[in-house]
Chains A and B, each alone.
Chain A
Amino acid sequence: MPTGLPGVRANFFGAGAQTARLMLYGLLAIVLMAIDQRGHYIPRLRALVANAAEPLYHLVDWPIRAAESVAGQFRSRERLEATNAQLRAALLAQEADLQRLETLAEENRRLRALLEGAQSLVFKTRFAELVRVDLDPFSHQVMINKGSSDGVEVGQAVIDAEGVMGQVEHVTLHMSRVRLISDPNHALPVQINRTGLRAIALGTGETGALVLNSVPLEADVREGDLVVTSGLGDRFPGGYPVAAVTTVLREEGQTFAQVIARPLASLDRGREVLLIVPQFTDEAFIGPPDMQPEPEPEPEAEEEGGL
């Protein structure tokens, strides 16, 4: 290698060769982006590389987590007691709700047996925490601290206490990446809870707004309507709250109404999330995750009851 001043090569080798290289790399980058945007090949490539990035996320996450736990040590006793009381009240209220739910689930099971709905899903949930890293600020994605070693799979739904957050897009050994419902590339089959009207909720790139597409102009949609998952598409289980309708715009001459909804989940400030693990069973059971399906009663008796 000829010795000389640094940069001599870049200066005297001629701008032409450099420009050719710019074109080459630029073209390569654009081709890669086009392939990635269409969703071909690149996920497999990411799977190869992503495990190498995991330690880097740990490196960023760990000091923050440590600082938070130290800060937690110094939290005052009164404040802890106050939160404790608050949580106890919330628990009591929810247990009361659960009692009612239990009878509803029982009723639902019997009705389903009547309809001979053979297969249904039992959903288990698994707790996960967000990893404190910021990914690309222009795409809405978060990392969670459960990965393939914990049984997480691509496509699993992620919710928080208020509603649906997104779905697992990529899994590495101890972490997974979740695409949030607000991402412009995300679409979620939903229905209006009040009327059962089906639509697709599209992300807009803003955490505060989803767009419901192909809602007919004359459809019965009002501000404040609850939007829940419809369960179509086999990705998300049905019936989980997603968003509340904020604006409905009906313009003459348009085919569809413009419906905008605000996501219920705290997409930009949540800490803890739940992963929903679907399990196919032959039991016709819909209910809270911790309730075990009871042995199926005699079908004859059920049919008599129905008749």
Chain B
Amino acid sequence: MNKQRDNARAFYITMFAALVLAIVPLPALIEAVWPFWMGLVVIYWALEYPRFMTLGFAFAVGLAMDFVTASLLGLHALRLVILTYLVLRFRARLRFFPPWQLGLSVLALLFNDRIILLWINTLVGQPLPPLSYWLPALAGALLWPPLFIALDRIRSAARSRLG
């Protein structure tokens, strides 16, 4: 019971942090590679503790992001629901992948996410983006190993503080 509550605390803290990271103002150079933090955090929780990371929750978080970033309502919701679905669907396999293979899978997931985003953006009438459009997916995959370790630490810290 306690374990679940501690996990819940870490869960909400990391979700909030990812939401804030989405609106932090950045120099143009960093912004060009700024990863989809919420996507990474969602992948982590869907892998490690899927009891929280349901499709409904992904949808709700996505809507919150849409409101906060003032993007098309439903855009982040769709991206996060698809991301969560894919991780939950292949969770059994992903969990037993060696780290490098998991990293590649994360890269594939993030690229897929960029493809969805590109598809919606072109429907809405945005111009075709330059090649640098794909950099955030690459950066996200590179940041995945340290993020994974950091999130594990946060989870165990939340547990030990109460225990």
Interface residues of A (CB under 8 A from B): 6-7, 9-11, 15, 18-19, 21-22, 25-26, 28-33, 35-37, 42, 45-46, 49-50, 53, 56-57, 59-60, 64, 132-139, 141, 170, 177, 184-185, 204-206, 268
Contacts and interface: CB of A to CB of B under 8 A. Distances in A.
Contacts of A64: 25
Nearest to B73: A36
A132 B25 contact: yes
Contacts of B91: 7, 10-11
Which label, helix, strand, loop or mixed, suits the secondary structure of the B interface?
Answer: helix
29 contacts: A6-B49, A9-B51, A18-B85, A18-B89, A21-B56, A22-B82, A25-B58, A26-B78, A29-B75, A29-B78, A29-B81, A33-B72, A33-B73, A33-B74, A33-B75, A33-B120, A36-B72, A37-B124, A56-B23, A60-B20, A134-B24, A135-B71, A138-B117, A139-B70, A141-B70, A184-B126, A185-B125, A205-B125, A205-B126
Contacts of B72: 33, 36-37, 136, 139
A157 B82 CA distance: 39
B77 interface: yes
Give the 8 A-B CB pairs with smallest separation, nearest first.
A32-B74, A136-B71, A29-B78, A29-B74, A7-B50, A33-B74, A36-B73, A136-B69
Contacts of A184: 124-127
Nearest to B136: A137
Contacts of B82: 22, 26
Contacts of A15: 89
Which label, helix, strand, loop or mixed, suits the secondary structure of the A interface?
Answer: helix
Contact of A29 (B56, B77, B125): B77
A264 to B, nearest CB: 20
